């Protein structure tokens, strides 16, 4: 190998060397950031909350509702510091909790661990760390449920949203980390993902219930046809914009039923197409 000592070739060689050094530095920086975001953050979290080993499976729970109605909860799972969407689970709260976050948290955790106890394959894998979105009250509920199922060995913590305080069972005062601390970052990621997952489900359920209510009172549109219309169109706006033929495409819809739905959303119109077109509905 020869190395140019002067002239244009020397300049090109020096530029190539600088580019190589810069590329190596960037690669190392990226590798360090990825480590800090993943394994490094987990190690730091273990240090903060006093775990002897890194939690492979983290579960985080968050509830969502609108003025106490359509309450749901989301369970989000991180494996080795990374989200595992296939492990996510959602729950529609069955009890009338009327916006009581503690009652909702108790129900969802009870159902989660009861299904594990019953051998449900979707829930048999237990968490190595349980995170609840909330403060001391939500954490105490989680600890009580774990004790009821003989799972007190599973560590649990809370993350209070107001100041991003970490709540530990054995410490009266919360832990407040620097905003740049990688341990806080990973807790924020799983908490924010749980919030996103729960609120997305809540909005979907709220839209479905709003649509069901809007279809109340239409002769010939019972629960089965309501569900079929929701499955086909998702929102009342889509149903409003649908033609009679499109409404017929929903499973179980007859031509007269489709005409009644259309008339409900378009009371001012007389759909000549509906009178003249004698085609049968494809949804039957």
Kindly tell me if the per-residue pLDDT of 245 is higher than 80: yes
Q: Give the model's confidence band at 278: pLDDT under 50 very low, under 70 low, under 90 confident, else very high.
A: very low
Kindly tell me if the per-residue pLDDT of 31 is higher than 60: no
Kindly tell me if the per-residue pLDDT of 272 is higher than 60: no
Give Cβ neighbours of residue 224 (< 8 Å, ≥ 6 apart). 252
Q: Give the model's confidence band at 216: pLDDT under 50 very low, under 70 low, under 90 confident, else very high.
A: confident
Q: What is the pLDDT of residues 108-147, one digit of tens each?
A: 999 999 999 999 999 999 999 999 999 999 999 999 999 9
Average pLDDT over residues 90-95: 89
Kindly tell me if the per-residue pLDDT of 163 is higher than 60: yes
Query: What pLDDT sits at residue 267?
Result: 79
Please state the domain extents for the chain: 57-194, 216-276
Mean pLDDT of the chain: 85
Query: What pLDDT sits at residue 222?
Result: 86
Query: What pLDDT sits at residue 180?
Result: 86
Q: Give the model's confidence band at 1: pLDDT under 50 very low, under 70 low, under 90 confident, else very high.
A: low
Query: What pLDDT sits at residue 186?
Result: 92
Q: Give the model's confidence band at 37: pLDDT under 50 very low, under 70 low, under 90 confident, else very high.
A: low
Q: Give the model's confidence band at 221: pLDDT under 50 very low, under 70 low, under 90 confident, else very high.
A: confident
Lowest mean pLDDT among 40-54, 106-120, 204-218, 244-258: 204-218
* Residue 45 and residue 187 in contact, taking contact as beta carbons nearer than 8 Å: yes
Are domains 57-194 and 216-276 of this chain identical in fold?
no
**CATH 1.25.60 correct for 216-276:** no
Q: What is the pLDDT of residues 167-204, one digit of tens each?
A: 999 898 999 988 889 999 999 999 999 999 999 988 88
Kindly tell me if the per-residue pLDDT of 162 is higher than 90: no
Average pLDDT over residues 210-230: 81
- DSSP string for residues in the chain: -----SHHHHHHHHHHHHHHHHHHHHHHHHHHHHHIIIIIHHHHHHHHHT-SS--SEEEEEEEEEETTEEEEEEEEEEETTEE-GGG-EEEE--S--TT-HHHHHHHHHHHHHHHHHTT-TTT-SPPSEEEEESSHHHHHHHHHHHHHTT-TTS-EEEEETTTTEEE-TT-SSPB---TT-HHHHHHHHHHHHHHHHHHHHHHHHHHHHHHHHHHTT-TT--HHHHHHHHHHHSSHHHHHH--HHHHHTSTT--HHHHHHHHHHH-TT---HHHHH--PPPTT-
57-194, CATH topology level: Nucleotidyltransferase; domain 5 (3.30.420)
Q: Name which residue leads in pLDDT, 80 or 96.
A: 80
Percent of the chain clearing pLDDT 70 (strictly above): 87
Query: CA dist 71 to 37, 102, 255, Å?
Result: 33, 12, 36
């Amino acid at each position: 190998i020869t190395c140019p000592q002067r002239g244009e070739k020397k300049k090109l060689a020096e530029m190539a060397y600088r580019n190589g050094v810069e590329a190596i530095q960037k690669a190392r920086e990226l590798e360090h950031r990825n480590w800090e975001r993943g394994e490094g953050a987990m190690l730091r979290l273990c240090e903060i909350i006093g775990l002897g080993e890194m939690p492979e499976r983290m579960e985080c729970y968050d509830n969502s509702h609108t003025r106490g109605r359509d309450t749901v909860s989301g369970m989000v799972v991180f494996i080795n510091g990374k989200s595992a969407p296939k492990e996510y689970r959602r729950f529609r709260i069955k009890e009338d909790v009327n916006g009581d976050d503690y009652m909702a948290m108790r129900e969802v955790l009870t159902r989660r661990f009861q299904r594990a106890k019953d051998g449900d394959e979707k829930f048999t894998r237990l968490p190595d760390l349980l995170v609840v979105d909330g403060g001391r009250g939500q954490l105490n509920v989680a600890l009580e449920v774990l004790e009821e199922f003989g799972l007190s060995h599973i560590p649990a913590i809370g993350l209070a949203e107001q100041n991003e305080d970490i709540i530990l069972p054995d410490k009266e005062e919360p832990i407040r980390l620097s905003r740049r601390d990688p341990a806080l970052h990973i807790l924020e990621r799983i908490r924010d993902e749980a919030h996103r997952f729960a609120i997305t489900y809540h909005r979907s359920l709220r839209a479905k219930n709003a649509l069901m209510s809007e279809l109340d009172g239409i002769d010939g549109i019972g629960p089965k046809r309501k569900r079929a219309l929701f499955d086909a169109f998702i929102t009342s706006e889509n149903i409003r914009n649908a033609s009679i033929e499109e409404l017929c495409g929903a499973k179980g819809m007859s031509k007269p039923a489709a005409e009644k739905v259309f008339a409900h959303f378009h009371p001012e119109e007389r759909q000549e197409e509906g009178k003249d077109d004698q085609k049968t509905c494809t949804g039957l």
